[in-house]
Amino acid sequence: MAFLRDVSDRFWHYVSPRKTQQRRDKPYTFKKPALPTRTPVLQREIAIPLVRKISHEPCPTIWTPRMSSPESDIDATLLPPSPPTSAMQSEDLEGDTLLPDSPISPSDSKNGSSADEWNANEDTKVVDDGTYMDHHKKANINEERRRRDKQGRELKDAGWSEDAVFLFQKLGMRGFEPILPIAWINDFETLPEDLFTAKLDKAFLKPAFGSEYGAQIALDQLFDLGGYVRDAWHTRAKRTPAFQIAKAVKKYTKWAMKDGRVDHLWPRLPLFEIVAFSRHVHASVGEAKMIEKLGRLHELWYDALRIEDAECLGASVVPEVPTLYGITASHTVMAFVSYATPTEEKEHAQLRLIAMFDFGREGYDVWNSLAIAIFVTHCRNRMMQLKEVLGEPESSVDEDPDL
């Protein structure tokens, strides 16, 4: 028991807090930590030129993004710039022909059939992407419509067909009137709200017999054309910008004719031809090729409508060849033209300019693509009307001798 008591005492002496510490020999003092030394920063001397070079270029304009209006939930900075509205005559085109100084154009008809120059895509000053709504509010739609109606009367007096005048006015009014169904507004959020309408009969760009989804996909792919054209230009790709334009037009046309159930008639009797050529090729070469193709197409329509037979029989109603169009693409520029047959006053066929578009200009992809959609849709609607006159193509059925 004594042994256990000694062990217990030694243990409690070891852990007992009553045990006092031995006195320190030296007083306890707190040492402050040494401050870090700062590395001196060497100041670099910047060489300042003695003479300042004066720039003759205008100062860049800084565009301030505009906030969306309270009545709209769409960001105005995502909207495309305003469509062309102001009248400005072209410097590259004279009269009705696409190139007046072309070798195939007669010298006595340099001014064409109309005294003035017409272009449905009349140019205007460029505005930033966020000013469309403000610009559109200032525009007088009724005044613009009256101006277009006056131009239409002048074009008819100049010898234009009603079909070509309608297309001219429809292209010029894009941006001033609704052309899309209201049901598409959530699928095209970056388009201005004024382009959509709840009245389906006023929506020009809509499917005829196909689905809404197919029409939206075709139009959405057409909006990407401007980017493809500029990429082909900057990268010097083998597929030139003109090739990209022709490819996009053919693709949208294929959908439109199938949607109108006239795809079986379009390959043999189209209403327009496409000519794409390099920027190194003179415009007169492309003009001559377009006139040649439209001339052959005019003969095909003349035979298909049996106009000669109707004239020989003295029919009360003689069908007429519909207005034929052409799309020319050179580099980033696309043009819509109509075909004017030879007359007593003008012995040679001519191309009348309807509108020109430049996909090299950024910010106008929406309006340029809408122009293609309007052009192709107009031809589809016209083809659906002519389908009743042409009838279904005759299909030869061989009789089975065993029956």
The per-residue pLDDT for range 223-272, each reduced to its tens digit, is 999 999 999 999 999 999 999 999 999 999 999 999 999 999 999 999 99
Q: What contacts 304, CB < 8 A, 6 or more positions away? A: 269, 390
Q: For the whole model, what pTM was predicted?
A: 0.69
E-assigned strand segments in 11-126 = none
User: Which tokens hold the place of 253?
Assistant: 């046309």
Amino acid 228: pLDDT: 96
**Regions of the chain short of the pLDDT cut 50:** 48-82, 84-117, 123-133, 137, 395-403
Of 223, 145, 227, 215, the C-alpha closest to 191 is 223
- Which residues lie across from 335 on neighbouring strands? 328, 356
Amino acid 154: pLDDT: 92
Residue 74, number of CB atoms within 10 A of its CB: 16
Distance CA 369, CA 244 (A): 13
Residue 326, number of CB atoms within 10 A of its CB: 25
* Strand arrangement of the beta sheet that strand 325-330 belongs to: 272-277, 325-330, 333-340, 350-358
